[in-house]
Amino acid sequence: MVAAGWLTLTQGRPRSMFAMTTREHASDPDSPRRTVSGEEGGRAVERFTVHHDGVTIPVSRGGRGRPLVLCPGLNSTQADLHGLVGLLRQDHEVVTFDLRGHGLAPAADRYSFDAFLSDLAAVLADPRSVGPASPPVLVGYSLGADLAVHHASAHPGSIAGLVLIDGANPLPEPFIGATDLAVFRAMADDLARSQERGRTGGGAHRVLLTAQDIHVLNLEIDVVRSGILDLYRRIDRPVSMIMSRSIAGDGGEGRAPRHNRLWRDGIERLVGERPDVTASWLDADHRLVFTHAPEIARIIRRATGRMGRGAS
């Protein structure tokens, strides 16, 4: 059975980290200049920062092809997603970034769903990220998927389509019930302690959130997902889902069966409401972006091939 820590819906830290090719980033948050700071797969990667709401968001852009913006989830950084990003950059110009308090982004005064949503909006609004002539495909992992849905519903016509990886699930009932609170609180404590050990000297994989931050955010995401089905009704762009069959692990005891069932029921609910939504299921848990990156990249490639370029 998968360790209990992987039950946390909005986190996806892998057991072994992917190394970044380079960790340099622009030091002036207000500078409009792009800086070429390294190469990945023989292609130059541009790095710059977006400054808003008192935080500095580090952004990386590289690859070639159709523009794609990848939003990480809670407790995951763009460095953690390096393996998937490298695969996607073979066919896309990929923009990725760190949410506040993650990776190379500094700590912030507040961590909330709306605060993270503003980080995504700031990156997408910056002309250095994606040009106005070609709306990007917006890809989100875990919490990043929820952020992508909220942004797309509020900004019609701004994106070409959505690819949502193990998140933004319109659950038919709360994932974290009253009997789950103590378990999820303990997992947040364990995760925060682990992350605190990795903060020494900073770095591209660090996460600065406390156990209380993580726990409150998990509860908030549960509430957000209770109303997300209505947002899907407002999105007139193609939507593709990539979901884990065993988000809570493959054990047959404890809370795992209920959580796995709820995860499947939520997607069935969405497809019943919007039959045009495509769903791909992987035999994986919530770490699928790390354990199944090549398969996910292939699914994204097929999905983006079906999406019209800037259709109105």
Q: Where are the domains of the chain?
A: 4-306
Q: How far apart are CA 109 and CA 146, in angstroms?
A: 22
Average pLDDT over residues 122-148: 93
Q: What is the pLDDT of residue 134?
A: 85
CA distances from 286 to 7, 29, 281 (A): 8, 33, 12
**DSSP designation for 62:** E
Average pLDDT, the chain: 85
pTM of the model: 0.86
Asked whether the predicted pLDDT for residue 190 surpasses 90, the reply is: no
Overall fold of domain 4-306: Rossmann fold (3.40.50)
Q: What is the pLDDT of residue 309?
A: 47
Cβ(51)–Cβ(123) below 8 Å: no
pLDDT of 298 higher than 50: yes
Task: Tell me the pLDDT band of 28, cut-offs 50, 70 and 90.
Answer: very low
